[in-house]
Structure 1
Amino acid sequence: MNDLDLILQAATEAGELALSARESGLKIWSKDGGSPVTDADLAVDTLLKTELMAERPDYGWLSEETADDPARLSTRRQFVVDPIDGTVAFMKGKPWFAVSIAVVENGQPIAGVVHAPALDETFVATLDGPVTLNGAPIAPSATGELLDCAMLGDAKMFGHPAWREPWPAMRVESRNSIAYRMCLVASGAFDAAIALSPKSEWDLAAAELICRRAGAWVSDHKGRDFAYNRPVPTVPSLVCANKALAPLILSRVGHIELP
């Protein structure tokens, strides 16, 4: 079984487990730092690690719900995984969560799956194959103006008085899962997604490949590319957009110095 088939099968099983666990009732607590986690997050993580590492014992492992092992840094390939991206939506009974799995080699994703089980939506990409949603090809929108564009982000952020130039009126919505937001841009359902706060490699890896293969732009707010399997697996921000809007967004946010 090739890497893509392997992670696709695992993501599907993980999605079924997540939905079943939610129906049965979740145990919820707070991690260090205050973000919520459920027993389903851990169960899905265990399932994925057990299945994937059994098939690829020489791969490294990086997951939100597994203590980081620096041994991954010396492996040829790595699984970069968010068992349930969008835990807040998941635990509140909303559908905006996803299982995100990427295979990374030389710092870049080479296979990726983002599976939203409550929506029955599965985004898939490889470096040299088609990028699809439920088997059908996808592409970003052609929107060329920020005015009235469909934007994923924090409406309060866009309305903050400190911007050098006020943002035009946009149709701003929110989705808890970062990976799913990016896939919505890749598929043209939204025009762009912006997050001016740190994101983790497991939020981004699979979705970045899907976006790039579809023809969308992905970078941090200063236009810098991402690399994966780094010692500290975080990035400062995210700009994901169709390629017409990306320069318009970067010109507005690139001057910001984030902590």
Structure 2
Amino acid sequence: MSVADDLALILDAAREAGRLAHDLRARGLEVEYKAGNSPVTNADLAADALLRERLGAARPDYGWLSEETADDPARLGRRRLFVVDPIDGTRAFLNDRPWWSVSIAVVEDQRPVAGVVFAPEVGETYAAQAGQGATCNGAPIGPSAACVVEGCAMTGDPRVFAHPSWPIPWPEMRIEQRNSTAYRMCLVAAGEFDVAVAPIPKHDWDVAAADLIATEAGCYVGDHAGRTFRYNGPSPVQRSLICAAPGLAPLILERVRHIGTAS
């Protein structure tokens, strides 16, 4: 199958999973808590099951990696695999805030080649195919022209940037939280924000689809040391996340490089 076929498949599947999650929330959610006090709902699990059944039936030779499915090491032997977060931003989903998304990537040889981030509550579908640019609701997107940290639009946890441990204190910025990591990255890709910083590890399913979308839009995506992400390793975790407009990326990386000395 072509990458274009894969993109069409995951677009339809993401929309179907998003509708299912929305409908289940309207009926009332069942909530449990995983290790680390992370919530998981019956909608997370139902959307995961739907995606695994539909995508697995369409591409039985692809591997599978999802936040809500026990990891199967067999994925390591697959050249292509789906990397899925059925509901990214479950806390927003639980609290009736709009900043959650369905995130699906097709990874080939450790890099995403097709990606979709569907945010049902705001009516936004972000998509990308390797080498073909990125879109929101079918229209091309690109990052901002920001090139100064002071006054930039940062999406992240405001408490992170106020912490006294930063070697260089952060200047005044417009900082707004968005629960879904993938959605934050897409907002940077579309120029709605200038940069997203998460100085903590992120799983492959948090970032794979949005990595491709933001990269294809023209953003920098990688860790605090300036390394791009590689996916489908034995431990599907990235050390940190920096997603930035190209004019800001070197300035942000200069401020966060010290993270590596403690990791």
TM-score by length of 1: 0.98
1:131 to 2:137 alignment: no
* Secondary structure at the counterpart of residue 255 of structure 1: helix
Give the match for residue 183 of structure 2.
Answer: 180
Aligned equivalents of 1:130 and 1:169: distance in 2? 32
- Look up the SS of the partner of 1:118 in the other structure: helix
Percent sequence identity is: 60
Query: How many pairs were matched up?
Result: 259
Q: Does 1:148 align with 2:151?
A: yes
Corresponding residue SS for 2:122: coil
- CA–CA distance in structure 2, aligned partners of residues 76 and 222 of structure 1: 27
Structure 1: distance between partners of 2:133 and 2:256: 32
Alignment of 1:47-58 (within 5 A): 47-58=50-61
The question of 1:195 aligning with 2:198 is answered: yes
| 2:254 is aligned with 1:251 | yes
Tell me whether 1:97 sits opposite 2:100 in the alignment. Answer: yes
Separation in 1 of the partners of 2:118 and 2:247?
27
Please state which structure has a larger fraction of its residues in helix: 2
Unaligned runs of 5+ in 1: none
Are 1:220 and 1:239, in contact at CA under 8 Å, matched by a contact in 2? yes
Where 2:112 maps in the other structure, the secondary structure is strand
User: 2:209 matched to 1:206?
Assistant: yes
- Cα contact 1:109–1:206 (8 A) shared by 2: yes
Residues in 2 aligned to 1:130 and 1:176: alpha-carbon distance in whole angstroms: 25
Letter in 1 for 2:27: S
Report deviation, 1:242.
0.4
Q: Is the 8 A contact 1:236 1:258 kept in 2?
A: no
Do structure 1's residue 4 and structure 2's residue 4 form an aligned pair? no
**1:204-245 superposed Cα distances (whole Å, 9 cap, x missing partner):** 100000001000000101111110011100011100000111
Q: Is it true that 1:24 corresponds to 2:27 in the alignment?
A: yes
Please give the alpha-carbon distance, in whole angstroms, between the structure 1 residues aligned to 2:209 and 2:251: 25
Q: Does 1:75 align with 2:78?
A: yes
SS at match of 1:210: helix
Note the residue ranges of structure 2 that are not aligned, 5 or more in a row: none
What TM-score results when the alignment is normalised by the length of structure 2?
0.97
1:15 corresponds in structure 2 to 18
Matched AA of 1:156: R
Provide the residue aligned with 1:119 in structure 2.
Answer: 122
RMSD: 0.9
Q: Give the Cα separation in 1 of the matches to 2:169 and 2:200.
A: 20
Shift of 1:106: 0.3
**Does residue 1:65 correspond to 2:64, yes or no?**
no
Secondary structure of the residue aligned to 1:6 is helix
Counterpart of 2:102, as a letter, is V
Alpha-carbon distance between aligned partners in 2 of 1:128 and 1:194, rounded to the nearest angstrom: 25
